[in-house]
A and B are shown apart, each in its own frame.
Chain A
Amino acid sequence: MVSEATNTRQKSVLWDWLTTVDHKKIAILYLIAGTLFFLKAGAMAVMMRVQLIAPEMEFISGQTFNEFITMHGTIMLFLAVTPILFAFMNFVVPLQIGARDVAFPFVNALGFWLFFFGGVLLSLSWFFGGAPDAGWTSYVPLASREFGGIGIDFYVLGLQVSGLGTLVSGINFIVTIINMRAPGMTMMRIPLFCWTTLVTSILIVFAFTPLAAGLALLMLDRIFDGQFFIPGEGGNVVIWQHIFWIFGHPEVYILVLPAFGMISEVIPAFSKKRLFGYTAMVFATLIIGFLGFMVWVHHMFTVGIGPIANSVFAIATMVIGVPTGIKIFNWLFTMWGGKLTFNTAMLFAASFVPTFVLGGVTGVMLAMAPVDHLYHDTYFVVAHFHYIIVGGIVLGIFAALFYWYPKMFGHKLNETLGKIMFWLFYIGFHLTFFVQHILGLIGMPRRVYTYLEEQGMDTMNFISSIGAFIMAAAVVILIINIIYSALKAERITVDDPWDARTLEWATHTPVPEYNFAQTPQVRSLDPLFYEKIHGNGKMKPAEPMDEIHMPNGSFIPFMMSLGLFIVGFGFISFHLDLFISPYIWIAVGGIITFGSMAMRSIKDDHGYHIPKETVEEMEKELS
């Protein structure tokens, strides 16, 4: 274990980023890739709103519209929001618990590259006969081999590969949070963002595996003529709905819990108060995570499963309102009597609370099984889940972006542009989605590419589309802000620009690759704030200054993911007319993936050590 250092600073930039296992760099990779997918899916949404701005528009065809609704939903959930959340989890969680890295840095890189190649595979569908068009839920028989086009194959295999990445990252976070905490950082002292990351990761482990199973079944049905979902051959189409929603409902909580965590970090920081009811928040998170698996049938009320099952699941769904309500009140009480600073991050965080309540209220309305027959598959549902996803998750992400940006990139985002963006986004969001409630109630069906005039829908659709354009403008301003701030903003030299409370602000800016030169000793919840009050404002070290063990970078995660990408393409190519046989693709990809795994297994990689002198030198330079 000598330091024959493949030190990251000696590599070329590109090679460094392709082989990095540093959680901070992987976080930035996630952030960039997730943002690109976010822009892509957002552009599709704008085009759909152009199509719907007036009755009987012919801006895009019905087929394209179907492909857009499918890709918009699929990309936003799997390839935009999930990776952006993973970006923050990756960057912040190890810092918040006082660790040098995640438990499995190699697996962390693998998770990123699997997600990335899975996303690329799904996106390739545009060039091979059209994107998937059966909705993000891909219900059979619409998605079965008889009716579904080639795009569904890309959906099935792309999500399989990227889902695998999400799964291994989830396992990694669980082990990290349980095993890697600094001395004194007990489970009831970890910041709430770590708790929500932990519960989200547990949900990933139990929800993405059913998804993997369901996708495998659909793949077997479509490509190898399985009969799972073919009623004429003894199959059953409702099984797909069950499997999908056993995954799909927890997926909502997988996305929203980290956003809850972000809000729970931002609000105390800018209220200058500790989080109200920390313990209640933790237990509310756990209860939401648990109940999230008990409610999937509420997506299937109209299938006809029976009044008993519908009632049980309706009640279970409404019960989730209780722990969520606890959270809402705790955020309000955190702000109550606090010294509030309304900068952009806090504006997003504070506006999250009422917006999310609106989404929650319509959620309880939808939970009422008898009335759900009225709401089902109308714009009311679309409005509801956009209030949860945009009004909840995206606002949380923007709050987190403005809050953690200085730690990640060494400078703040511009506040003026930030506030303009906030107001545009917030007004645009409500314009877009509030009227959709009413559109749904008067009967406008979702997923239909146009509507007739004189049905009372023209004005509200027009308003909704204008709102969407305003939201798009807000996103453009965010991009301008990022570029402008990168060029003009002054560099942050202090560790703690927000005067915040948790451990990530105790590290230097920029964060050195080893995070903490000496592992900190944690004495309380909100450890940094505790030291500001009771100590000298700096964390006390839990160990003497010593050499630091670091993992080596590796190209194997990239290769493993590339191999699975090729295998996935091979399976799809059974339905493509290519001059290379599918078996060759599968064999080549399989050899790359399993060969890389074997290489990883055979070659022991103990990492390297940063010598004590270098650490001391770097510390002096940074402080």
Chain B
Amino acid sequence: MANSADLSKGLPANPEKATLDGKNKFLGAWVFLAGETTMFAVFFGTYLGLQSGTAGGPEPSEIFQLPLVFIMTMLLLTSSLTSVMAIYAMKKNQFQKLKRWMWITVALGAVFLGFEIYEFVEYVEHGLGFTTSAFASSFYALVGLHGAHVLFGLLWATLLLVRNRNAGITLTNAPKFYVFSLYWHFIDVVWVFIFSAVYLMGIGG
């Protein structure tokens, strides 16, 4: 059966793809992310189409603060790196390291999310509510959707870690960690585009 692998010589080199189940999850995750890409593309397109529709409310260049966004970008990029370290440890069958790097990833993501909430609160205090203008709505929709993805990722990773705290690396949970890291990279790439298209263009363009 393709669903079990020979474990007598230890874990295989790529435990996430050693079983048919793992292979299916791997491909399914990529396809899912392809769909997510088009969904985000629509939100990006809507934002770019509506960013000048400020209707007398605050404009992008008046309200965005690059230093904060820069710190957030660094946090999220680093968390992507730590999730790579986690998968690297997984492939070498180092469970403790995997857990450590995963928890660091979660922590970085949580700080990022905290900053994002702080950012939104600040903007609202400066008069940019969700209903202020089409620009405001599309900004909160796009960045908020990304934030919701971060939140979902954090809950997912936490559940995975708690659930598998004593499990070691198995052919069942390796694909799960791997798929999470794919998702997390995706979140990160989306943020790079948000950073460029929303914040840099909002201030400079």
Contact = CB atoms under 8 A, between A and B. Distances in A.
Given A221-B137, A233-B133, 19 more contacts: A104-B24, A171-B28, A172-B28, A179-B27, A205-B32, A210-B38, A213-B42, A214-B42, A224-B130, A228-B46, A228-B137, A233-B53, A234-B135, A243-B42, A243-B45, A546-B1, A549-B3, A601-B160, A606-B172
Contact of A602 (B3, B45, B50, B159): B159
Contacts of B131: 224-227
Given A167-B35, A224-B130, A228-B137, A239 B46 contact: yes
B141 A175 contact: no
A604 interface: yes
Contacts of A175: 24, 27-28, 31
B49 A205 contact: no
B134 A206 contact: no
Contacts of B172: 604, 606
Nearest to A233: B55
Interface string B133-155: 11111100100000000000000
Nearest to A208: B35
24 contacts: A103-B24, A103-B28, A174-B31, A175-B27, A175-B28, A180-B20, A205-B34, A206-B38, A209-B39, A214-B42, A227-B55, A227-B133, A228-B141, A232-B55, A233-B55, A234-B55, A235-B50, A236-B49, A236-B50, A236-B134, A239-B49, A546-B1, A601-B159, A602-B159
A179 B24 contact: yes
A26 B23 CA distance: 24
B36 interface: yes
A439 B27 CA distance: 50
A239 B35 contact: no
Nearest to B41: A210
Interface string A132-159: 0000000000000000000000000000
Contacts of B141: 216-217, 220, 226, 228
B73 interface: no
A606 B173 CA distance: 12
B134 to A, nearest CB: 4
B31 to A, nearest CB: 5
A153 B11 CA distance: 52
Interface string A175-214: 1001110000000000000000000000001111110111
A165 B39 CA distance: 16
Contacts of B55: 227, 232-234
A217 B28 contact: no
B163 interface: yes
Contacts of B160: 601
A546 to B, nearest CB: 8
10 pairs of A and B residues whose beta carbons are closest in the complex: A234-B53, A234-B134, A213-B42, A209-B39, A235-B134, A226-B137, A234-B55, A103-B24, A205-B35, A227-B134
A16 to B, nearest CB: 24
Interface residues of B, number: 40
B37 to A, nearest CB: 8
Interface string B36-69: 1011011101100110111100000000000000
B162 to A, nearest CB: 9
Nearest to A205: B35
A368 B20 CA distance: 49
Nearest to A607: B3
B46 A209 contact: no
Interface in A76-111: 103-104
A239 B50 contact: yes
B35 A549 contact: no
A587 B34 CA distance: 30
A349 interface: no
B38 A171 contact: no
Nearest to B20: A179
A230 interface: yes
Interface in B95-143: 130-138, 141
Name the residue in B52, B53, B54 with the highest tally of chain A Cβ atoms < 10 Å from its Cβ. B53
